[in-house]
Amino acid sequence: MVKTVLGKLLLGLLLVVLVFVGFSTALAQDEGSAVTVSAENLPQAIADAKPGDAIEVTGGIFTGHLDIDKPVTLIGIDWPVIDGENNGTVVNLTAPGITMRGFIIRNSGQVLDQENSGIAIQAADITIENNRFENTLFGVYAKNGHNAVIRNNVITSKDLDLPRRGDPIRIWYSQDVLIEGNEITKGRDVVLWYSERVTVRDNEVSDGRYGLHFMYCDDATIEYNTLLDNSVGAFFMYSRRVTVQHNTIAGNRGPSGYGVGMKDMDDAIIRENIFLDNRVGVHLDTSPREVDSFGRYDGNVFAYNDIGVGMMPSVRRNEFSNNSFVDNEEQVAVGGGGQLKGNIWSVNGQGNYWSDYAGYDADDDGTGDLVYKSDRLFENLMQREPSLRLFLYSPATNAIDFSAKAFPIVRPQPKVEDEFPLMTPQIPTEAPQMPQATGETWFIFAVVFTAMALALVLLPRLTRKRYIFPQPETQA
C-alpha cells in the first residue's frame, strides 16, 4: 500500500521535473539571441549566428550574394534591400528551417538556363514571407524544398519579352508546399512540377504566360485565387485528385487562351469557379485518362467566353452539374466536330443553366421541361471549317441558325443534351470579386456626346435666318 503511494508520488515528481525541463529548453530555443544589424552587415551576422537565432535587419542595402546555410530567422524592418547586381541568384537557402520576412530582393542575373532567381530554396521547412521581388528573373525557386511556405510576397520578373522572362515561383520536386496570398504579375509561368499535395490559395496571378502550370502534382488544392489576363489561366497535366475551387479566372486570351486547361487529368474536381471572358473557359484533352476515373464540374459559372467548355472529341466520363453557361459565343465546342456522347450533363436530376435555353418550366420546379440541345448550325459549320469563325457576330450567322430551326433537315446532331436544364443561373459566392471600375468617365462621355448630338439637331433651327442663298455676283 505505502509502497504504491510512494511509487505514484515519485512518478508524479518525475513527470513534473520532465515537464519543467522540457519547457525551459523550449523557452531557451525560442528566445535564441535576437541580433539587430543593418543590411550591409548581414553576412557577418549570419556567420556569427547559432542555429535558431533570429536576426533583425533594420533597413540598408546589402550588395552581393547571400548564402544562408544554417536555420536562422531573418526579419526585415523598414524594407532592407538585398541587391544581386544583375548577376546570378541573389539569395541561396541551403539549410532547413530558414525564415525570411520583410526584404526587398532585387536585380538577379538574367540567364534563363541557369535559372537566376531572387531566392533559391534548396532545403525543407523554409518560409518566405512578406518579401518584395524586383527585377529578378525567377522569383522563388524551390528545389527539394518540402513543406516550404511562400506567403504574401509581391513578385514580378524582369522587363523582357514574355518567353525570356523567368518564373515568379517555381516548385520542383517539393512536397506539401503552401503558396498563399502572393501578388504575382508580369512573370512567365508559375510552375509546379513533380510536387505532391501543393496548396495554392488566395494568390493573384496576372499578365503572365501560364498563370499556374502543374505537371505530375497529385492531390493539389487550388482555391480562392484570381488568375487574370494571362495567356493561360492554369494548365494541369498528368496529375490525379486535383481540386480547383472558388477561383476567379478571367481574361486569359493568349495563343492558347484557356481559363483552365486539363490534359491527362484523373479524378479532378472543378467546383464553384468563375470563368469569365477567356478565349476558352475550360479546355479538356484526354481528361480523365484512366477508365475508372472521372472529372467533376459542379457549380461553376462560364460567362462571356468565346467558348465556355471546349473538348476534344474523344473526351468522356466528365460530369457537369449546376454550372451556369452564360452568353458564351459558343457554350460548348468540340474540336473537329463530334457529339460528346460519353459525358454526363446532369447528375441526379441536376443539370446546368444555359442562357440560350428556349424551353419553359410549366411545373415550376426550377428545371426546364424540355431537353436542352446544343445544336446551332453555324457552330457545326465552324467545327467543320474553322476559318468560318471570321463571320462571328455577323447577322448572317443568325440567319443560318434560324434556317436550321425552320428546316430541321439541315439541323445538326446536338453536341450536348441536358435533360434537366436549370432555369436560373447559380452564382458562386466565395470566389474573389473582380475589380470594379467607376462610372465617372462614362458619365462625362455620355453627357458630352448626348449634348453634342442634340446641338447638331437644334443648331440649324437657331440659325435658320441664314437660310437664304447668296446672290450671284452677276446680278450685283
Partner 1 sequence: MLDFENILVLTQKELYDARRNRWFMLYAVAFTGLALGLAYMALSGAGNYGLAGFGRTSASLINLVLLIVPLMGLTLGALSLAGEREKGTLMYLMAQPISQAELLLGKFVGLSLALIAALGIGFGLTAFAIALNGGSAEIDTYLILMGFAVVLAVASLSLGFLISAAVQRGSTAIGLALFLWLLLVFFGDLGLMGTALVLQLDVQQLFLAALVNPLQLFKIAAISGIRSNLEVLGPAGVYAFRTYGSALLPLLLGLLLLWVIIPLLLATYLFKKRGVL
Question: Is residue 467 a contact point for partner 1 (CB under 8 A)?
Answer: yes
Among 392, 407, 410, 430, binds partner 1 (CB under 8 A): 392
Q: Which residues contact 317 (CB under 8 A, 6 or more apart)?
A: 288, 293, 294, 295, 342, 343
Task: Count other C-beta atoms under 10 Å from residue 430's C-beta.
Answer: 13
The footprint of partner 1 on residues 342-381 (CB under 8 A) is: 355, 381
Question: Is residue 459 a contact point for partner 1 (CB under 8 A)?
Answer: yes
Coil, strand or helix at 354 = strand
Which residue shows C-alpha cell 446546368? 352
Binding map of partner 1 across residues 399-428, x = CB under 8 A, - = no contact: xx------------------------x-x-
Part in contact with partner 1 (CB under 8 A); list of ranges 75-83, 219-227, 308-316, 448-456: 448-456
Question: Is residue 388 a contact point for partner 1 (CB under 8 A)?
Answer: yes
The footprint of partner 1 on residues 238-257 (CB under 8 A) is: 250, 253, 255, 257
Query: What minimum distance in Å lies between the beta carbon of 196 and partner 1?
Result: 33
CB 209 within 8 A of CB 161: no
d(Cα 222, Cα 262) in Å, to the nearest integer? 14
Query: What minimum distance in Å lies between the beta carbon of 428 and partner 1?
Result: 9
d(Cα 169, Cα 171) in Å, to the nearest integer? 7
Give whichever of 239 and 323 is closer to partner 1, judged by the CB atom: 323
- Grid cell listed for 473: 455676283
Give whichever of 29 and 398 is closer to partner 1, judged by the CB atom: 398
Amino acid present at 179: I
Part in contact with partner 1 (CB under 8 A); list of ranges 86-94, 105-113, 413-421, 436-444: 436-444
Which residue shows C-alpha cell 531572387? 118
CA 21 vs CA 13, 15, 78: distances in Å: 12, 10, 38
CB 212 within 8 A of CB 239: no
Question: Is residue 448 a contact point for partner 1 (CB under 8 A)?
Answer: yes
Query: What minimum distance in Å lies between the beta carbon of 318 and partner 1?
Result: 24
Query: What minimum distance in Å lies between the beta carbon of 139 and partner 1?
Result: 27
Question: Is residue 336 a contact point for partner 1 (CB under 8 A)?
Answer: no
Task: Count other C-beta atoms under 10 Å from residue 188's C-beta.
Answer: 23
d(Cα 308, Cα 334) in Å, to the nearest integer? 11
Answer whether the bond into residue 386 is a cis peptide, omega within 30°.
no
Query: What minimum distance in Å lies between the beta carbon of 287 and partner 1?
Result: 23
Task: Count other C-beta atoms under 10 Å from residue 94's C-beta.
Answer: 14
**C-alpha count within 13 angstroms, C-beta hemisphere, residue 76:** 23
Binding map of partner 1 across residues 263-282, x = CB under 8 A, - = no contact: -----------x-xx-x---
Question: Is residue 334 a contact point for partner 1 (CB under 8 A)?
Answer: no
Task: Count other C-beta atoms under 10 Å from residue 116's C-beta.
Answer: 24
Give whichever of 41 and 185 is closer to partner 1, judged by the CB atom: 185
Question: Is residue 456 a contact point for partner 1 (CB under 8 A)?
Answer: yes
Part in contact with partner 1 (CB under 8 A); list of ranges 6-14, 15-23, 339-347, 452-460: 452-460
Binding map of partner 1 across residues 288-327, x = CB under 8 A, - = no contact: -------------x-xx-x-------------------xx
Among 211, 206, 137, 122, residue whose Cα is nearest residue 171: 122
d(Cα 47, Cα 40) in Å, to the nearest integer? 13
Which is it for strands 372-373 and 417-418: parallel, antiparallel or unpaired?
antiparallel
Binding map of partner 1 across residues 37-56, x = CB under 8 A, - = no contact: --------------------
Residues that bind partner 1 (CB under 8 A): 250, 253, 255, 257, 274, 276-277, 279, 301, 303-304, 306, 326-327, 329, 355, 381-382, 384-397, 399-400, 425, 427, 433-434, 436-443, 445-454, 456-457, 459-461, 463-464, 466-472
